[in-house]
Amino acid sequence: MNIAVIEDEKYSREELIHQILDVLPDARIRQAGSGVEGLELIEKEGFDLLFIDVRLGDMLGITVASLARKLQPNARIVFATAYSEYGVKAYELGVHNYILKPFDPRRVRQVLNELQASYHTSGAAPVPVQKMPVTVNRHTTLIDVDKIVYIESSGSGRCCIIHTIDKATYTTTSSLGSCEAKLAPLGFFRIHKTCLVQLKFIHDIFPWSNNGFGLHMQGFTNVLPIGRDKVKPLRQLLNF
């Protein structure tokens, strides 16, 4: 079995590899210490199983998992995280399983055994929700995800503003990170710490301020900045 471990903490990465080899001594394991390194590895080699840390130093593991699905749709994905709430999100996002830090050898063995048993079955991954709930004053509006063009954090940073294709705006108390966790598997990408965009609505990308890059979204004239560390992953997603 070909396995990749994408984890930015060296000790955690080595410990997980050690535990995997205890269960699968013949496994071929490659490792990456960042999201960018992980994506480069996934682009070059084929894997049966990917262990991905949810909070990598340079990007969210959710983003890496979303890209990995496009590059290697048959690979099984397991989140490695210190945050138990991501156990539920793992299934919402269609990820096959999760393990918590510090890694428990019994849990690692259980996950590996379950994945081996199901590897040749054709069970479909859970389908992520296609609606985005926005609650204001106890009134909840369900927005079609397909209509969301981009989401930006507000000036105060305490809430987010959702912009739709019909130019409607909605304010939500959800954090941008929470929105990213829900929407990354549905074709969204965080181009900056303040902005999450739906890839299919990107109109053009161009050089912008301070040797950086910006982009326009379909139907909008304002410039959205692209973080320097986001340019390469974005190009990989758009295949240019």
The rounded mean pLDDT for the chain is 85
CA distance 30 to 26: 13
pTM: 0.57
CA distance 71 to 45: 10
pLDDT on residue 216: 96
**Is the pLDDT assigned to residue 232 strictly greater than 70?**
yes
Alpha-carbon torsion angle 120, 126, 130, 134, nearest 10: -150
**Is the pLDDT assigned to residue 95 strictly greater than 80?**
no
Q: Which CATH superfamily is domain 131-238 in?
A: LytTr DNA-binding domain (2.40.50.1020)
Alpha-carbon torsion angle 185, 32, 202, 170, nearest 10: 50
What are phi and psi for residue 185, nearest 5 degrees?
-70, -10
Residue 146: closest CA among 94, 191, 198, 197: 198
The mean pLDDT of 91-101, rounded to a whole number, is: 75
> Any idea which of 31-35, 137-141, 203-207 has the lowest mean pLDDT?
137-141
CA angle 108, 76, 232 (to 5 degrees): 110
- Residue 11 identity (one-letter amino acid): Y
What are the E-state strand segments in 110-187? 131-136, 139-144, 148-153, 160-164, 169-172
pLDDT on residue 96: 80
CA distance 125 to 92: 9
CA distance 224 to 146: 20
The 3-state DSSP class for residue 70 equals helix
**Is the pLDDT assigned to residue 185 strictly greater than 90?**
no
- Domain 2-118 sits in CATH 3.90.1170.50: no
CA distance 62 to 208: 28
**Is the pLDDT assigned to residue 221 strictly greater than 70?**
yes
Token representation of residue 141? 């509006």
Token representation of residue 135? 């609650």
What are the E-state strand segments in 33-138? 49-53, 76-81, 97-100, 131-136
pLDDT on residue 157: 61
Q: Which of 32-36, 122-126, 173-177 has the highest mean pLDDT?
A: 32-36
> Which has more confidence, 138 or 195?
195
Bridge partners, 77 (sequence order): 50
Question: Where exactly are the structural domains of the chain?
Answer: 2-118, 131-238
